[in-house]
Chain A
Amino acid sequence: MKIKNKKTGIAIMMAAMTMMAAGCSATGSQKGNSASGNTIKVGVNMELSGAAAGYGQQEENGIKLAVHDINKNGGIKINGKKMKIKIITRDNKTSTSTAASVASQLTTKDKVVATVGPATTNAATAAIPNQTKAQVPLVSPTAADPSFTRTKKGGVQKYVFRAQAQNNYQGQVAANFANTHLKAKRVAILADNSSDYGTGLAKAFKKNFKGTIVSTQYFQEGDKDFSSLITAIKNKKIDAIYVPGYYSEVGVIIKQAREAGINAPIIGSGGMADPKLAKIAGASNATNVYYTTPFSTITAKNNAEARKFMKEYKAKYGQTAPTYSALGYDATMMVANAIKKANSTNSNKITEALAKTKNMKGVTGTISVNKHHDPQMKMSVEQMTNGKVVAGYTVK
């Protein structure tokens, strides 16, 4: 309660100051929000409770660490004056309507100059109209649906960016990995049918896989019995199985497939990258399992930024940095980088600079934003043996 009051107090103060500032710049040429005083306010619209809270909390950790790193050296230099970043975090409860109202609060009441989050495609998409109206850019760390940064007519959403490569690319990487590394000729697909995530990845995989897709079957979020699906594909002489989905279901699929005697490689997507996967599948079953991920702790060892990030993360939170924290970190760094490049705290100027992001050294790799506002980055494939990640491959 105390904090809330304090926050509200600051917000009112800031709002008053911004109004004054707005009054001063009577030219009216600059729309959007600008910072006032010595701090730059960045909003965090995040899934801190509800269904995606696990992902949201990991991303928030990464965001906090990024802000800490930026402010450590006095902040970002703008017109010769160093300004610190201050984050204003609001929980969108994994709800689309709350995500939209949080976007409105952050942009109009808190007057942030940029927003990081939401994490999920649905919530992030719901935040777009209010962000656009306020002309404040939004960088989602993990919204992966291809259409997220596109308008309905196929153009690009001016104020919308993301730090993670979109699904089509992830599916393509998985297919290339199956082609070149596993040399698979016959693959069965078991895809999560309850979100665009699973179906989108399955589609992208099919498009890029060179061999035969012997079977494509679907399951629902929350399903626990896959034995019939597995029996049905068992006798089809498959070289690999592609399972785009989340760890809660994929873990059970791995368990049941191994118990049914299928030892073929199982390839999945970033939604599997969770320590719970090996626990649900059983450590010995989680062998010969691969998944695509934008951040691999193994390939990260070749990247100085990532090494530093992992060390700091471990020191601050006492655990190995998860993928979603790395993406939260990079999303925040993209914003900071854009503020620096724009040499301005005006949200429209930041938006322009975000669109021009080029060769930014991030923890998930070197990031450049393309004309669709998608980051261009390399993906890693991690390999699990006995429930542990044993190898990482960089795949184009």
Chain B
Amino acid sequence: MQIFMQQLINGLSLGSIYALLALGYTMIYGIIKIIHFAHGDVYMLGAFFGYYTINVWHFNFIMALFGSMIFCALVGMLIEFVAYRPLRHSSRIAVLITAIGVSYFLENGMSVLFSGDTRDFPQVIKQVNYEWFGIRVTNIQLLIFATTIILMIILQLIVKKTKMGRAMRAAAADPVAAELMGININGTISFVFAIGSAMAGAAGVLIGLYYNSIEPTMGLTPGIKAFVAAVVGGVGSIPGAAVGAVIIGCLESLMQAIGFSAFKDAAVYVVLIIVLLFLPAGLFGNKQPEKV
């Protein structure tokens, strides 16, 4: 039972990291129907920006977190403006290839500028272990849970309660009609990119602190896992992304716990295939069939 609870904690902390990334995927897909493959690399940029501000400007944790969120929001808007906006009316495949291109550009650009070496992240918060009934939780894990939950609540409030949120939902439902109703589509899409990327930036700093190791290719695997989480949860659905991420995180933990560590990634993709076969819209997805 103890071990089970400990593994559950491990799975949850992994899941909440995926959740922060999956939210970005799901929102961006929801509004412009593209898979933003460079999202994992925005997360990497967030980690590196945090590394920079803490080491050079001597930011504390909260300032570094917000600094990275703002920086990534700007990067996200820039990516949208430079790479996706000119392709707004082109075929999906062109946008998809562009997304992969942006991802490669960011990864290799960072490798050239700052070398591909793994580096240690400045430990601005001293780690403390808490132990209850033989279950260990660190203060950084708690911080990750708390940040993830707070950011998700804020996001949900923005989407459901604000004018911008209504614009986002309208643009997601029918961009043409929304534009006719006087909604600034470009502004709304920029805003979505900013929010999604800010979440990724927060994840970058949290991960840097938690694992104490960052490198330019760090966004690749978590990016793909978060994408799977978004699909499992139902692309476009915010609670879906969170639930999907926790499922993926716990699944990985479970596979390692029962001794199939070599197959943990395979298990994630098997789940993806099963969901796509039997529940193409995901767990919380919009079940309306797409009109062709």
> Which A positions have Cβ atoms within 8 angstroms of B?
50-51, 53-54, 193, 215, 217-220, 222-225, 227-229, 231-232, 235, 247-248, 251-252, 255, 259-261, 276, 279-282
Contact = CB atoms under 8 A, between A and B. Distances in A.
A282 B123 contact: yes
Interface residues of B, number: 36
Given A217-B256, A218-B261, A259-B129, A231 B10 contact: yes
Contact of A280 (B115, B212, B257): B212
28 contacts: A51-B116, A217-B261, A217-B262, A218-B262, A220-B221, A222-B217, A222-B218, A222-B220, A224-B207, A224-B213, A225-B252, A227-B10, A227-B13, A228-B256, A231-B3, A231-B6, A231-B257, A232-B3, A232-B256, A232-B259, A235-B3, A251-B118, A259-B136, A261-B129, A261-B136, A276-B117, A280-B120, A282-B123
A12 to B, nearest CB: 32
Contacts of A248: 118, 213, 215
A270 B259 CA distance: 26
A165 B118 CA distance: 26
B252 A228 contact: yes
Interface centre among B218, B257, B259, B261, by most chain A C-beta atoms within 10 angstroms, is B261
B138 A259 contact: yes
Contact of B136 (A251, A260, A276, A280): A260
Contacts of B256: 217, 228-229, 232
Contacts of B179: none
Contact of A228 (B7, B120, B211): B7
Contact of B213 (A193, A228, A252, A259): A252
A64 B44 CA distance: 36
Contacts of B213: 224, 248, 251-252, 280
Given A218-B262, A219-B261, 17 more contacts: A54-B117, A217-B256, A224-B207, A225-B252, A228-B10, A228-B253, A228-B257, A231-B7, A231-B10, A232-B256, A235-B3, A251-B213, A255-B212, A279-B119, A280-B118, A280-B213, A281-B212
B234 interface: no
A247 B10 CA distance: 23
B17 to A, nearest CB: 8
B55 interface: no
A282 B212 contact: yes
Nearest to A226: B256
B48 to A, nearest CB: 15
A247 B120 CA distance: 12
Contacts of A223: 221
A220 B265 contact: yes
A50 B117 CA distance: 10
B53 to A, nearest CB: 19
A276 B261 contact: no
B287 to A, nearest CB: 33
Interface string B84-127: 00000000000000000000000000000001111110010001
A222 B116 CA distance: 12
A51 B212 CA distance: 20
B14 interface: yes
Nearest to B249: A225
Contact of B11 (A219, A228, A252): A228
Contacts of A217: 256, 259, 261-262
Contacts of A281: 212
Contacts of A225: 10, 14, 211, 252
A251 B213 CA distance: 9
A281 B127 CA distance: 13
